[in-house]
Amino acid sequence: MATFRAGSATSQPRDSSSQIPDNALLNDIPAWLRSLRLHKYTENLKDLKWEDLVQLSEDQLVDRGVSALGARRKMLKIFMAVREAKIPWDQNKHDTQTSAGSEETA
């Protein structure tokens, strides 16, 4: 009989930063999906680079055959964390445009 222990790893929410893979795993989409327990979608997503994969929207995931809502939500949450951690140029680009616009009005 299985017992549930309070305080076990499964009872505590995971910090999304702990789910951010290193660059080697990001570059190996099949291994990354296996690590997320989403390997059934490998055939649907293996042709993408990780930079493109983490930019997919929910509709694009559906179009690629990720039909399970839970799987899409999990992917989108992890994609967002990866984008925030690994693609700092997005923020830099935004900051540059904002500062350029404020200089023009000054």
Domain boundaries, the chain: 16-105
CATH architecture of the domain 16-105 equals Orthogonal Bundle (1.10)
Determine how many CB atoms are found less than 10 A away from the CB of residue 90: 11
pLDDT in tens, the chain (106 residues): 444 344 434 434 444 445 677 888 888 999 999 999 999 999 999 899 999 999 999 999 999 999 999 999 999 999 999 998 877 654 544 444 444 555 555 4
Q: What is the pLDDT of residue 101?
A: 54
> What pLDDT score does 21 carry?
78
pLDDT at 20: 75
Q: Is 19 exposed, middle or buried (0-12, 13-18, 19+ CB in 10 A)?
A: middle
Residues 42/33, Cβ–Cβ less than 8 Å: yes
Q: Is the pTM of this model over 0.85?
A: no
What's the CA gap between 87 and 60, in Å, rounded?
20
